[in-house]
A and B are shown apart, each in its own frame.
Chain A
Amino acid sequence: AQSVTQLGSHVSVSEGALVLLRCNYSSSVPPYLFWYVQYPNQGLQLLLKYTTGATLVKGINGFEAEFKKSETSFHLTKPSAHMSDAAEYFCAVSEALTGNQFYFGTGTSLTVIP
């Protein structure tokens, strides 16, 4: 069975500082991994995804994530935080072989301090 753990339900960073949001998963098969962002009172928007190939994935708004199989991690980073990055971030995993449902993490709320 799949599971996703997002360490830190709340993360605060200063404007211009590095953003690091952590995601670990458990899977017995190669996973497909996703990061979504949810701005206040909106639906979820895909930031980036990893399916196969290059383990460093670049997404929208300057975000990127690296798939590390040995650490079962898919952490999200951005070199320099903007005020507009304040939102809820969700990591999700799906099974690569059986095409089953998404499993979402519990989310990390990012606050950017001016």
Chain B
Amino acid sequence: DTAVSQTPKYLVTQMGNDKSIKCEQNLGHDTMYWYKQDSKKFLKIMFSYNNKELIINETVPNRFSPKSPDKAHLNLHINSLELGDSAVYFCASSRGQGTYEQYFGPGTRLTVT
């Protein structure tokens, strides 16, 4: 009964490729997020969706495009991958925005070679 799941768990790819990471939550939450965690463990929010609508779009390259087909899913597509994109990407969800605790997925470790 995984609450927030992500696939794949590991992703190794070459520079210039396009890849997607999928996220699904079965908690009935309205809000979903994507975070990037760098090698120093710093967590940076990338996107937030509420009821399938984009709420937060932090300063990330436009090579990153989130897509939310429904409230339970938030996918992240990355075009033209660069070395600096190597990181762990976490999906999270919450009942609403901000004041509710967020539930995190297990992460996707992306390595760009």
Contact = CB atoms under 8 A, between A and B. Distances in A.
Contacts of A99: 96-99
7 contacts: A43-B4, A44-B92, A49-B101, A101-B33, A104-B43, A106-B41, A106-B42
Interface stretch (B12-20, B63-71, B74-82, B103-111): B103-111
B98 A88 contact: no
Interface of B: 4, 33, 40-43, 45, 48, 56, 90, 92, 96-99, 101-107
Contact of B98 (A41, A49, A98): A98
A90 interface: yes
Given A101-B97, A101-B98, A107 B41 contact: yes
A41 B107 CA distance: 8
Of the four ranges (under 10, 10 to 19, 20 to 34, 35 or more), the interface on chain A belongs to 20 to 34
A32 B4 contact: no
Contacts of B96: 99
A44 to B, nearest CB: 4
Given A102-B45, A102-B102, A106-B42, A44 B90 contact: yes
Interface string A3-22: 00000000000000000000
B99 A101 contact: no
A94 B56 CA distance: 14
A34 B48 CA distance: 18
